[in-house]
Amino acid sequence: MKNFVVLFSLILLFSDCGGGGVSGKGGSKKGFEAQPENMVLINSGSFEMGSNDEDVVWAMNAPLRRRTTDVFWMDQTETTNLAYRTFVAWTADSVARRALAAAGEDGFVIEQEDEDEDEEYPPLNYKTKVAPSGKKDVAEDHNRALKDAGYYYSKKESMGKKNAIDVRTLTYEYQWVDLYQAAKAKWDPKEKKYTGTVTDMNGETTEIVDRSSFIIRHQVLVYPDTLVWIRDFHNSYNEPMAVSYFSHPGYDYYPVVGVTWEQAKAFCHWRSNHAEEKRYRNQYAPHSYRLPMEVEYEYAARGGLEGNLYPWGSLYNTNKSGCYLANFKPQRGDYALDGFSRIAPIAQYEPNEYGLYDMAGNVAEWVYDAYDENSYEATHDLVPVYHRDARPNDKNGRKRKVIRGGSWKDFAYFLQCGARDYEYQDSARSFIGFRTVRDAFLPGQKPVK
């Protein structure tokens, strides 16, 4: 376990290096992807998806249905504070460099002419504020430029004399092609163009012009909401968690919490960009990282076992020695009976048959699907997904996203493989985190001659 976490930290810290970046092992053979680090290959198959026991909360939202999944890679563990902090640091560095470029600081530019970004757009040295040219007398100018750009908290908002990053400036900007809206467009053979409308992230609907109409642009504040520890538990002492849980290195290998579904999606986009290999001759880039679909999460949680109640296969939540098999709330008022009063570090309990840790308990996890009580009735039986894009201004009913696995504060029912719940995509909780998956390229059969 020690070697595993050390290796994972090195991968994150050197995510800009060549090869597989944050997730790859280097080059791959023609037509095949590299083995991703710390991910498990889940082969395709079919299974009975849904509740295998009494519906004690009377949710009636998970009837048994046979479903089929494709092959995919899944993270062995939940995304850690260290991993997400790397994402936040990258965003902070990007914001700072743009602020310096806008202020005309020597050595910083916005438009890239050289393919080697680090040469023309170098990372900021936060310790010395030394300019790329090596001049050490520009630290004061750097600080002034960053203050003028609103990168630091104002003197009124800051504590002490040190400059502190204003986390409200840490915005990650990204874009994607909305294939769902593109698929609804109609081709006009006379006009030789697509007709119809598209809706952007602001909820504004416009006529389709060309392919650019389907490129959706979005901005997400990436810093976790550390006040969830106070907000989620009234009259409970959680100040140390609010102050230290995300930022202190002692919590590096704990699951990140306080992130919304939208922030988790932004992390997946960032990780995809860093993991993508350059397309050399006879070599192809891997698929992008994303949140798991609900069917993938349950299929992976079951670990290849049919009809099992929990990921570990037993009908009980303790082993023969009486030790609990996950981090949850075993008894009324007794959170520490399983070994941890709140969140546990990753991989503290035995993995399931696929080698996946904490597929039940510790933190509940965001998945890609929108939540609806009757979605099982509406989705296909081949890799089902209930897709519904919700804009920031939409009503809460459209913003419900599925969460899976149960958490450290939940009772055993929510740890069941078939149990499902929801949270709003723009809400953050002290008991919800996430892990990523990636579609897999596998060798196929040779064509018949």
pTM of this prediction? 0.85
d(CA 173, CA 124): 19
Q: Are strands 215-221 and 171-177 parallel, antiparallel or unpaired?
A: antiparallel
Question: Is the Cβ–Cβ distance between 165 and 179 less than 8 Å?
Answer: no
- Chain centroid to Cα 184, Å, comes to 28
What is the rounded CA–CA span in Å between residue 349 and residue 357?
7
pLDDT digits (tens, 9 = 90+) for 228-240: 999 999 999 999 9
CB 353 within 8 A of CB 304: yes
Q: In angstroms, how far is the first alpha carbon of the chain from the final one?
A: 49
Percent of the chain with pLDDT over 90: 47
pLDDT for the residue numbered 33: 62
Q: Which residues have C-beta within 8 Å of that of residue 44, sequence separation ≥ 6?
A: 68, 69, 70, 71
Higher pLDDT, 266 or 200: 266
What 158-166 contacts at long range (C-beta under 8 Å, 24+ apart), as own/partner pairs, is 165/92
Q: Classify 2-80+255-439 by CATH class.
A: alpha beta
Q: Say if CB 335 and CB 341 are below 8 A apart.
A: yes
Q: Which of 50, 168, 170, 147 is nearest to 100 (CA)?
A: 147
Alpha carbon of residue 150 to chain centroid: 28
Sign of CA dihedral 144, 149, 151, 156: positive
How wide is the angle at C-alpha 315 spanned by C-alphas 311 and 321, nearest 5°? 90
Q: What percent of the chain has pLDDT over 70?
A: 78
For residue 192, give every residue at least 6 positions away whose Cβ sits within 8 Å of its Cβ, in sequence order, or none: none
DSSP 146-195: HHHTT-BPPTTTSSSSS--B-GGG-EEEEEEE-HHHHHH-EEETTTTEEE
**Any residues with CB less than 8 A from the CB of 333 and at least 6 apart, and which?**
none
C-alpha closest to that of 23 among 438, 310, 449:
438
- On the question of pLDDT at 29 being above 70, the answer is no
Task: Give the pLDDT mean for 22-47.
Answer: 69
pLDDT tens, residue by residue, 384-422: 999 988 888 889 999 999 999 999 999 999 999 999 999
Are the C-beta atoms of residues 70 and 44 closer than 8 Å to each other?
yes
pLDDT, mean over the chain:
82
Residue spans in the chain of domains classed CATH 3.90.1580.10: 2-80+255-439
DSSP-assigned letters across all residues of 315-350: SSSB-TTS-BSSSS--BTTBSGGGS-SSPPPTT-S-
